[in-house]
Amino acid sequence: MKISGHAVVIGSDVDTDMIIAGRYLRTTDKKIWVEHAFEDYDSTIAERLRGSVIIAGNNIGCGSSREQAAAALKEAGVLAVVAPSFARIFFRNCVNLGLYVFECDITGCKDGDIVTFDPDMSYVETGGKIYEAKELSEKMKDILKAGGLAGYLGEKR
């Protein structure tokens, strides 16, 4: 099953505070997180997240290990995050919340380009080019298929 979305391109070293600023974490209302996602990075991004694939530079999700950054992206309707490298905790938070992650470098992708991926495969496609991603473990694939760790653990009981 292939999934497609439009690209939202961001740079390298975008930390979790740029994804959702700490001042919005006093609430657990995820709608607030969605509304203010990337506000301190680029205030136009939040309105473009639904149905998107985030294409990032190196080290996406660095900084604090707040799970709310991945939760804000998932709640906003982001389909996947693609980057050459991830902060490890952010990577795992994405997987645990059921947000697809692909560790690969997509060069030349621009905002709005169509990006396609297959959750069962380790590649991302855009502009007629296929980019191989680092393969996820079978357990991580199972967690993603279950919609996140809570679903996966529910299935295992």
User: Which one-letter DSSP state was computed for residue 1?
Assistant: -
Tell me the pTM: 0.95
Tens of pLDDT along 92-121?
A: 999 999 999 999 999 889 999 999 999 889
- Strand 3-9 and strand 80-83: the pairing is unpaired
Count of the separate structural domains present in the chain: 1
The CATH number given to whatever domain includes residue 46 is 3.20.19.10
Question: Which pLDDT score, from 0 to 100, does residue 156 have?
Answer: 62
Average pLDDT over residues 81-88: 98
Q: What range does the domain containing 87 cover?
A: 3-156
Are the C-beta atoms of residues 100 and 74 closer than 8 Å to each other? no
d(CA 134, CA 31): 32
